């Protein structure tokens, strides 16, 4: 009987020890489940952030590809080779040349007048005062100043 009691006591101790181990394992499982839930929420947030960044980066990659293909030089060439720009440069050159010619004629006439002490006309100049603008800003203020704007 003593032996049976000792076996019963040993069994109780083992049972208590197993209950403690079982409780410890249950706590570990609960902690692991909570950590799994937290990591699952973190994973979902990370996936949403990745999708948002991907949607932001995708147009940039497309634009970068376009820029590599066409490039800034291509855009600049398109602008600089525009026929409107050519016509504007020609019109500005012609007006500037005419204004310079007229100013030269007037200056020359002034020198002749000083030398001869007489009034010297500028009628012989190919440009008269009526059709030359000596103020370049007028070219851009009115549509009639530059031929391609009219």
Are 84 and 148 spatial neighbours (Cβ–Cβ below 8 Å)? yes
Please tell me whether the overall predicted TM-score, pTM, comes out greater than 0.75 for this model.
no
Residues with Cβ within 8 Å of residue 132, at least 6 apart in sequence = 95, 98, 99, 102
* Domains of the chain, residue spans: 1-70, 82-150
pLDDT average per 10 residues of sequence, the chain (150 residues): 84 88 92 94 94 92 83 79 82 81 75 75 55 42 39
pLDDT in tens, 1-14: 888 888 888 888 88
Alpha-carbon distance of 12 to 38, in angstroms, equals 39
Whether 52 and 59 have beta carbons less than 8 Å apart is answered as: no
- Helical H segments across 1-150, by residue range: 2-80, 83-116, 137-141
Rg (alpha carbons) of the chain, rounded to whole number: 47
Q: 29-55, pLDDT tens digit by residue?
A: 999 999 999 999 999 999 999 999 999
């Amino acid at each position: 009987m003593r032996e049976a009691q000792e076996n019963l006591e040993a069994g109780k101790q083992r049972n208590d020890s197993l209950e403690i181990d079982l409780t410890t394992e249950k706590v570990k499982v609960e902690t692991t489940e909570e950590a799994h839930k937290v990591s699952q929420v973190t994973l979902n947030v990370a996936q949403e952030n990745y999708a948002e960044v991907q949607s932001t980066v995708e147009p940039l990659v497309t634009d970068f590809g376009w820029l590599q293909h066409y490039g800034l030089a291509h855009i600049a060439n398109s602008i600089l080779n525009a026929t409107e720009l050519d016509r504007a440069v020609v019109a500005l050159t012609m007006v500037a040349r005419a204004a310079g010619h007229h100013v030269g004629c007037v200056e020359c006439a002034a020198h002749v007048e000083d030398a001869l002490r007489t009034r010297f006309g500028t009628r012989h100049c190919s440009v008269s005062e009526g059709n030359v603008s000596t103020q370049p800003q007028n070219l851009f203020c009115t549509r009639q100043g530059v031929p391609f704007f009219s």
